[in-house]
Structure 1
Amino acid sequence: MVFLLIIAIAVAAAMLLQQRSSPDSSRPLEQVLPVWKIEQGCLLSKSGDITIAFEVSLPEIFSLSDAEYEALHQAWLKAIKVLPAGSVLHKQDWFEQSAYRAAFAEGGDNFLLRSSDRFFNERPYLAHTCYLMITLRPGGLKPASSAFSNLLRRNLAAPAAVPDKQMQALLNPVGQFRRILSDSGLVRLEQLSEEALAGTSSKTGLLERYLFLSPQQVVPVLNDIRFKPDFAIGENRCQLYTLADAEDLPSGCSPAIGYDKYSTDKTRFPIGFAAPAGLLLPVNHIYNQFLVIGDGPKTLKRMESKRRRLQSLSAYSRENTIGRDATAAFLNEAIGQSRLPIRAHFNLLCWTRDEKELKELRNLTASALSRMNAVAHLETQGTPQLWWAGLPGNEGELPENESFDTFAEQASCFLNMETAYRSSNSPFGLRLGDRLTGVPLHVDISDEPMKKGITTNRNKVVVGGSGSGKSMFMNHMLHSYVQQGAHCVVVDVGHSYQGLCRLLDGYYFTYSEESPIRFNPFYIATGEMLDTEKKESIKTLLVALWKQNDESFRRSEYVAISNALQSYYQHLAENSRLFPCFDTFYEFLQAHFTKELETDGVKDRDFDIRNFLYVLCPFYKGGEFDYLLNATENLDVMQQPFIVFELDNVKDHPILFPVITLIIMELFISKMRKLKGIRKVIVIEEAWKAIARSGMAEFMKYLYKTVRKYFGEAITVTQEIDDIISSPIIKEAIINNADCKILLDLKKFQNKFDQIQAVLGMTDKGRQQVLSVNKANDPNYIYRELYIDLGNQLMKVYRFEPSVEEYYAYSTEQTEKLKVQEYTERCGGDIKKALRMLALETSSH
């Protein structure tokens, strides 16, 4: 048992609460504080009320469909109906203006992460916490009113004890209430501890936060509370807006309403009915929601008496006639549809430190409530009593005259249903932004979804039109992966990863006349040996160089090539001065292996060595392609975490492209099988079309079906919508085996989106979200939005907003790439220094 001998009793003289009726007098807070003590985790009041408090985790805003809002509404409704008569449900949502605090981790080599930390540091956002208090009042107490609030009493005497029977009368239904909401899968409740309620010497509790409007997780600060001449708590100028009068309420309500900013002429984007009073109201505020569960039969009896009274007076006033009809309709609905009649009250407590901002605060609040079709009523007379009733543990003192009769179905529509985006707790992921404010989030779209059973593989397909930010996002994702220990192989067309490769000191294989592309599949790093897999990959390459697709390949030829490779590597071991490459292999065949075949009596019909040497002659020194298989640099590809194969200039070459594709396949399959415990990623950009044409479609199918078993993921990136609609490779090999779909701006394709939706297997909820991408971007920031679908279960839109350094590092604009190259040369080849210089110059303009 923790006794609350009033909060900060030692400094009670400093805490003054002015009475509404006597603005010149003041009283010590401990004389009127209604909270008596905490027992069994419950707040006990001096009036005998018992309150149990929870912190509530709500779904993230912009992430629910109409059907999910309806399911959430039904869950709240079912939970409310198990509460006993005489109980008060008080949902209190705190929205406080805050600023992002970057971690600025020391050490490490993540240059771009530090630049991103600097870029987002102090980014403003609205922090949201939600609390739920359920209060049970003892029987026999008169309903509170504005005239008889316990705020106006001189002293409150604590009861001797609270009966265990009354405690159980609350705890049992609250347990059912909690289970019903938790089973919905959309809401999670966690009971607040004694410290969370009462606070400690170093951290504010919920009671102190409410009384003094103190920020969360800070040392308690004591403030004066006054209501005359203006409502203020410390330096905070406060205003209280109420929804308690039937004239101010909307004519209708529903679990969700359309959000015009993200809707199109073909789709309606849903948000919660009360969302305008929540995260969409960008001021410091508390949204209080009170539902008073009364005695149903007694309420109906009271309403029936009211109807008869209005009936008798209806001849004297049209207002009485209208009131009679409304009361009769209420009774008919309550009885005919088995509705639960309750009393409800909703209010917004808004505050600001700057008195000059009060006018803007009023405008924003009025605008927010108007989006609910409600009228903002600025409370003046009843402010102290309503504010006092919002104190956790004092819900029973909500003035009855400040509430209105309604049904639980309608009242629960006014509950705030959403919270801000949350970061993942997974150690792996990438940085994306909250859609509403851009605040950085840690998002895991690979491991966590698999652990939770949302997806069955890590494969991804990325779709975005030209200029949608697709390449910049992919650069960011791969940079994040490499920084977390992954090995990435990229097959690209268009030089999208040149800057990132230089930043990561990776291998960049590309073809030009001055510097043709070079590999060395024969090279084996020191300490390694020729294993079966390496041998098989070289044999496959040699056969591809020798035979056309329509030529047959005999078993004897396969054995001969296998023997040749075995003998060649024995020869290398005996002659350490020889460098493993195609040239030395070719010379070995000419000088040594030909004699071995003669000694063994191998006939030309079994293996025609002369034909083999003749066909492979162009790849030997002096030949047309002598550069291709004789590289002497960038050899340790197995240990290089970032490798880019740029195929733009060879994608249509009949000789080079198939050979290069085989080398890429061999490299990634070797990484996939040999690098145990390391994440392997292969990204196939627009080159997938060329690969499919070259007969490598089976390789892509194999990748997408097999890579999961080796802690890997395959990612295909495309920008042509027609490719998605028409290509069987995309549909069968990629989409069906990619549980993560990332879509960027596709609004210009909305007229043929039905086909895209069908091919991608996208739900109507996904369609709504995809077509909302980039529809209402904040003009104060430069960013692109992207839609992520995980297993057709989790769908969400995020921001990707790069820092200036990231922008230049990832940019695919030729002028900007040339600028980075120029600055890098100025900085002696140091690209990080060049990016810093560019960022400084850009920010100074």
Structure 2
Amino acid sequence: MRNKMKAATLESKFPLLAVEHDCIISKDADITVAYKVELPEIFTISSDEYEAIHSAWHKAVKVLPNYSIVHKQDWFIKENYQPDLQKEDVSFLSRSFEQHFNERPFLNHTCYLFLTKTSKEKSRMQSNFSTLCRGNIIPKDIQDKENITGFMESVEQFERIINDSGFITMTRLVEDDITGTKEKAGIVEKYFSLSQTNTTTLEDIHLKSDEMKIGDQIMCLHTLSDVEDLPGMVATDSRYERLSTDRSDSCLSFAAPVGVLLSCNHIYNQYLFIDNHTENLKQFEKQARNMHSLSRYSRANQLNKKWIEEYLNEAHSQGLTSIRCHCNVMAWSDNRAELKHIKNDVGSQLALMECKPRHNTVDTPTLFWAGIPGNAADFPSEESFYTFIEQALCLFIQETNYKSSLSPFGIKMVDRLTGKPLHLDISDIPMEKGIIVNRNKFILGPSGSGKSFFTNHMVRQYYEQGSHILLVDTGNSYYGLCKMINRKTKGEDGVYFTYTEENPIAFNPFYTDDNLFDIEKRESIKTLITTLWKRDNEPPSRSEEVALSNAVNLYTKKLKEGIEPSFNTFYEFVGGEYKGILEEKQVREKDFDLANFLNVLEPYYKGGEYDYLLNSKKQIDLLSKRFIVFELDNIKDHKILFPIVTIIIMEVFINKMRRLPGIRKLILIEEAWKAIAKEGMAEYIKYLFKTVRKYFGEAIVVTQEVDDIISSDIVKESIINNSDCKILLDQRKYMNKFDSIQKLLGLSEKEKSQILSINLSNHPKRKYKEVWIGLGGSHSAVYATEVSLEEYYTYTTEESEKHELLQLTEKLDGNIELAIKQLAAEKRNAK
């Protein structure tokens, strides 16, 4: 049926013919291969790495034949975070985290690359010959088979060069990705709807002399199409001042200002047109001669001759390839007032690149049409400028926003730039990929930098994902979280050990839920009793070891007969029944001095000074408890209690390591590690950090003083060397000492720059602190620890806030979750 409307149909102007063998064929017989590109994350690339990425692009472009087009298309779409609340087992704190970020706006980046083979005639077409302007589309030059085969071979080489660089990943798009299916939209459909969602609706395209509209979206276009609009110099990267210091440089790609730093809906198109290099230079030679002959009539001709000769000299002397280039920023909005701001934003960002912002109104439809995937050959040649491959590639965007880990396990952090929640795996996937060889972590941050806040956030999520957590603390940092878990599990979990005069710390290492005492449990009891009995420099003799081992074995058999397990009954057994057994065997006093043994252990027997310590009435088997906190602040300087409590802690975790196969275990030692190391327990720390990885475990040490690291051999030899994950918080307080920290931790210049950028440019309307996470010396980034008010009151270490929470909890009959909800609600209402 004949179209009688004044408007043309999209079908009549559509420049693409078909998709065959995963290639886009245009109606002018141009062939395009499409890729989705994964770029490195922003703020994770050093200047040298930008050079390496630039070099990889250069090598790849050089393999393409003449009359090829490289079209890189970067989409930046504003989206709102959608919380994941569908799971039935979402905890109170996880739900509050997701709700806190509900509808949080962020910029989503998607990058495509289109490699097109066109013809010599088509590469010279101007805007008046665009398929948008023609009544019919008839190809003048059909590609021959040899050209197509050569092009496809060079495309494969291009892909291999880029993927082998180790920085960028190119994935070939297949037919369904290009054309779409019933379930999802293809890239062509997405382009015409200015969307990256899987379900899109095609809308009317409205072309006027001064503006272009797609549906309700009004477009504005800024172009870099003339050498005069470009800066005097370009580079692979530029210094990002907001995150740089006088001691460090934070680097971004040269074109980053029109990438993730431009916070509006926009597409950044980058075109490289590879013509015949030799013919280009001949043309310039001819122009130079013409300019010379006309130089007497115009000073401009003299200057143009000079510039053309400089271009030719560079091309010949350095072996550079002459190409044409064009870049444009297409932005849009459905609100004219907002569009005005967007125009200004795009212009100011281009100005940051030292480019002259040129708002293009005449060629918007033609350039939009050329941006259709597979239609780069329809680009108007007058909108391009001559340059060399190296300089043109500097206008490529080389980084993307932060990406979540593709892993079922991990922790929730936040993108420092946009505030979008991220799922981050810093344990399992890095192990699988060989980035790290153990899951141990070393955390360093001065007082007030947010260490305990971050560790609370991390261990809470580990616990909710099924891990066994054992925490050794010296400041009540985990009291709120532990009490919440205890309340939620109705006392079954969330065990908090602390020492007060009214309620001294107490254990019962002889109790098990199942009344089974395997070799690991018996060894644990023997180690504990040996610690009580002997000094560090006084190891037991072989005969004493045998006697103690027999005593423990016989005692555990008696427990199955119904004796109450405790140190008291063990002491009575040794002093009574076992004494008789030793006499029958005629064991000599010099082989095992029973009287001395009982005398040394008497303080821990009923009536003794420490009779409470190993005779707890609470029948708790710590093997089955998944969240245990030992708060040692009040006893860290006690010569008797501290070593005993420490050995019990270590034995509890080692018992978990060996008896819970396939279950993730985590021990986190806060500042208590200093006291532990002093009391002769250094060997336990060394053992833990070297062995825990074999048992699906993680050992984490937290410290705040730089001098602790520098002065402690334990930290240097055991903790740092066996911690492939290093986590640092704000180090500006130690700026003058940071060189020694850098050397000790083996940090690169890139990692140093990242660490010194922490909290330098935080968003004023968001409350968060940043943290640097480094994995194996090869992968590192800075993330934000931003949480909901409910999580804040759970984790807070501010004394006044903790006191307020405890008072409200008491009023609510110990319901700490309800108290946290009320405090958070009051805070929101106050705002």
Q: TM-score range by the shorter chain?
A: over 0.9
Counterpart residue number, 1:222: 203
Evaluate the alpha carbon distance shift between residue 748 and residue 834 of structure 1 in structure 2; reply closer, same or farther with a 3 A threshold. same
Matched, 1:36 2:14: no
CA–CA distance in 2 between the matches of 1:272 and 1:83?
A: 24
Match status 1:558 vs 2:545: yes
**Deviation of 1:822 (Å):** 2.4
Q: Using the alignment, how far apart are the partners of 1:538 and 1:201 within structure 2?
A: 66
Shift in alpha-carbon separation, 1:130–1:550, aligned structure 2, 3 A? closer
Judging changes above 3 Å, is the alpha-carbon distance between structure 1 residues 148 and 567 closer, same or farther for their aligned structure 2 residues?
A: closer
Of 506, 509, 520, 2:508 maps to 520
User: Partners in 2 of 1:623 and 1:142 — Cα distance?
Assistant: 96
Contact 2:192–2:202 (Cα < 8 Å) also in 1: no
Deviations 1:461-497 (A, max 9, x none): 0001111111011011111111111111111111111
Matched, 1:788 2:773: yes
Counterpart residue identity of residue 156, structure 1: I
Matching residue's letter, 1:147: N
- Matches of residues 128-527 of structure 1 in structure 2 within 5 Å? 128-141=109-122, 143-157=124-138, 163-505=144-486, 506-526=494-514
What is the aligned partner in structure 1 of residue 743 from structure 2? Answer: 758
| Structure 1 match to 2:598 | 613
Q: Which amino acid aligns with 1:412?
A: L
Deviation at 1:229, TM superposition (A): 4.6
Alignment-mate amino acid for residue 752 of structure 1:
K
Structure 1 distance, partners of 2:193, 2:524, is: 71
Judge which range, 315-324 or 802-811, deviates more: 315-324
Residue type of the alignment partner of 2:794: A
Which of 687, 699, 712 does residue 727 from structure 1 map onto?
A: 712
Instruction: Give secondary structure in 2 for the equivalent of 1:112.
Output: helix
Indicate the RMSD between aligned Cα atoms, in angstroms.
Answer: 1.8
CA shift for structure 1 position 121:
1.4
Q: Distance in 2 between matches of 1:254 and 1:140?
A: 33
The counterpart of 1:572, out of the listed 528, 545, 559, is 559
Would you say the 8 A contact 1:465–1:720 is kept in 2? yes
Q: In the aligned structure 2, how far is the partner of 1:208 from the partner of 1:296?
A: 35
Q: Confirm or deny that 1:807 pairs with 2:792.
A: yes
CA contact (8 A) 1:683 1:716 kept: yes
8 Å Cα contact 2:123/2:377 also seen in 1:
no
CA distance in 2: counterparts of 1:142 and 1:92, whole angstroms: 19
TM-score normalised over the length of structure 1:
0.95
Work out the percentage of aligned pairs sharing the same amino acid.
49
Tell me, in whole angstroms, the C-alpha distance in 1 between the residues paired with 2:304 and 2:406.
55
In the alignment, what sits opposite 2:89? 108
Contact 2:209 2:362 in 1 (8 A): no
Match of 2:587 among 582, 597, 602: 602
Question: Which string of whole-angstrom CA distances, capped at 9 and with x for unpartnered residues, describes residues 398-447 of structure 1?
Answer: 11111100000000010111111111111111111112112111111111
Q: Which one-letter code corresponds to 1:549 in the other structure? A: D
Match of 2:734 in 1: 749
2:813 matched residue in structure 1: 828
TM-superposition CA deviations, 1:554-609 (whole Å, max 9, x none): 222222222222222233333x1x31001111222233222222232223222222
Partner residue of 1:549 out of 536, 542, 546: 536
Q: What is the CA–CA distance in structure 2 between the aligned matches of 1:33 and 1:87, rounded to whole Å?
A: 21
Distance 1:235 1:504, change over 3 A: same
Whether the aligned pair in 1 keeps the contact of 2:657 and 2:692 (CA below 8 Å) is yes
Contact between 2:193 and 2:200, CA under 8 Å: does it hold in 1?
Answer: no
Q: By how many angstroms is 1:334 displaced?
A: 0.4
Q: Secondary structure at the match of 2:762?
A: coil
Q: Which residue number corresponds to residue 19 of structure 1?
A: none
Q: Which residue is equivalent to 2:687?
A: 702
CA distance in 1, matches of 2:142, 2:119: 12
Distance of 2:472 and 2:403 partners within structure 1: 33
Do the aligned partners of residues 795 and 214 (structure 1) sit closer, same or farther apart at CA in structure 2, a change above 3 Å counting?
A: closer
> Contact conserved, 1:46 with 1:159, CA < 8 A, in 2?
no
- Give unpaired runs (5+ residues) of structure 1: 1-9, 17-24
Distance 1:480 1:74 in 2: 41
Alpha-carbon distance between aligned partners in 1 of 2:710 and 2:770, rounded to the nearest angstrom: 23
- Give the CA deviation at 1:552: 5.2
CA offset digits 1:182-233 (Å, max 9, x no partner): 1101111112222222233453322222223234212323233223452221
CA distance in structure 1 between the partners assigned to 2:782 and 2:560 by the alignment: 57
**Superimposed CA distance per residue, residues 612-667 of structure 1 (whole angstroms, 9 cap, x where no aligned partner):** 22221111112111110001226110010111111101111010011111111111
Partners of 1:582 and 1:200 lie apart in 2 by 71
Matched residue type, 1:710: Y
The answer to whether residue 732 in structure 2 is matched with residue 739 in structure 1 is no
1: CA distance, partners of 2:616 / 2:690: 32
- Say which is worse superposed, 137-146 or 490-499, in terms of deviation: 137-146
The answer as to whether partners of 1:45 and 1:158 remain within 8 angstroms in 2 is no
- The whole-number CA distance in structure 2 between the counterparts of 1:133 and 1:724 is 51
Opposite residue 197 of structure 1, the aligned amino acid is: I
* Residue 165 of structure 1, CA deviation: 3.3
Tell me, in whole angstroms, the C-alpha distance in 1 between the residues paired with 2:384 and 2:420.
38
Runs of 4+ residues over 6 Å off in structure 1: 158-161
> What is the match of residue 753 of structure 2?
768
1:682-721 alignment, distance < 5 Å: 682-721=667-706
Instruction: Identify the residue that residue 676 of structure 1 maps to in structure 2.
Output: 661
**More divergent stretch after superposition (771-780 vs 394-403):** 394-403
How many Å apart are 1:175 and its aligned residue? 0.7
CA deviation map 1:369-425 (0-9, x unaligned): 111111110002222222211112221121111110000000001011111111111
2: CA distance between counterparts of 1:444 and 1:142?
Answer: 47
For the 8 Å contact 1:202–1:219, the answer to whether it is kept is no
Give the secondary-structure state (helix, strand or coil) at the position aligned to 1:345: strand
* CA distance in 1: counterparts of 2:115 and 2:538, whole angstroms: 80
CA contact (8 A) 2:568 2:606 kept: yes
C-alpha separation between the residues in 2 aligned to 1:436 and 1:55? 23
Alignment of 1:50 onto 2:25: no
Report how far residue 13 of structure 1 moved. Answer: 7.2
Deviations 1:791-828 (A, max 9, x none): 00001111110111111111111111122222323333
SS in 2 for 1:44: strand
Deviations 1:667-725, CA, capped at 9 Å, x for gaps: 11111111000111111110110011001111111111111111111100000011112
How much does 1:745 deviate?
Answer: 0.5
Paired with 1:316 and 1:634, the residues of 2 have a C-alpha distance of 104
Which residue among 503, 527, 531 is the counterpart of 2:518?
531
Q: CA deviation at 1:51?
A: 1.2
Cα distance in 2 between the residues matched to 1:28 and 1:360: 33
Could you tell me whether the CA contact under 8 Å between 2:211 and 2:361 is conserved in 1?
no
Query: Deviation of residue 314 (structure 1)?
Result: 1.7
Go from structure 1 to structure 2 and tell me whether the alpha carbon gap of 1:121 and 1:631 turns closer, same or farther (over 3 Å shift). same
Q: Is the 8 A contact 1:204 1:214 kept in 2?
A: no
CA distance in 2, matches of 1:142, 1:95: 28
Query: How many residues matched?
Result: 823
Q: Which amino acid aligns with 2:747?
A: M
Q: In the alignment, is the contact (CA less than 8 A) between 2:119 and 2:141 conserved in 1? A: no
Give 1:109 shift. 5.2
Corresponding residue of 1:66: 47
